[in-house]
Structures are given as C-alpha cells and as structure tokens.
Amino acid sequence: MALTDAGLPHEIDHVISRKHGGMSDPENLEFACYLCNRLKGSDIASPHPVTGELVRLYDPRKDRWEEHFRIAGAVLETIESCGCHDGATTAAQCH
C-alpha cells in the first residue's frame, strides 16, 4: 500500500524492538501507522482477547497485509477469516 493511500501518517518502526534485541538495520525496520505503532509499543506478542493464549503480533516481514487487514472507508479492519483475529479490535491486536 502506498503511504498516500493509507489515510494516516506512518513512521519507521522496529519490527523487533531494541528492548528485545532488535537492531536498527533495514531488515528490522518497517513503516508503521503511527497509531498502530503507539498501541503496539515494544510488544512482540500479546494475549489473545478471547483465549488468553500468548500469540505474536502481525509481522510485516512474515505476514501479508492483505490477508490480515482491509480498509473499509475510513476504518482499518482486521480480517476474521484468517483465523487469528477473533475478538481483536485494533490492528495492533491482530495476531
């Protein structure tokens, strides 16, 4: 997705945060929506909102955006059919 199509400003994010040993090299940097990045913080996993199971967060190096998210007007939605979003309410909770 082009930055101009996103509707929200993006910023450079560490996929694996420096807190967890991630480096500031191109392989570990990605553009992230500023709101999603603020909600994610330095987390790399989160409890699933329904099961409580610890699952990893969306990883732009491993996951395909269009399999996890869609834009519906002015709203970024998670896609339920991928099987990992039951109960997720924000992109940062997408596992």
In which domain, by residue range, is 69 found? 3-86
Q: Is residue 93 part of a domain?
A: no
Model pLDDT for residues 11-65, shown as the tens digit of each residue:
888 888 888 888 999 988 888 877 777 777 777 777 777 888 877 777 777 788 8
The number of domains in the chain is 1
Q: Would you say residue 57 lies in a domain?
A: yes
Residue 23 in any domain: the answer is: yes
Is 30 part of a structural domain of the chain? yes
Quick check: is 91 in a domain? no
Decide if 92 is inside a domain: no
In the chain the beta strands, taken as DSSP E runs, fall at 10-14, 29-33, 45-47, 54-56, 69-72, 75-78
Residue 66 within any structural domain of the chain: yes
Residue 63 lies in a domain: yes
Q: What are the CB-based long-range contacts (under 8 Å, 24+) for 8-11? A: 8/33, 8/34, 8/35, 9/33, 9/34, 10/34, 11/37
The predicted model scores a pTM of: 0.49
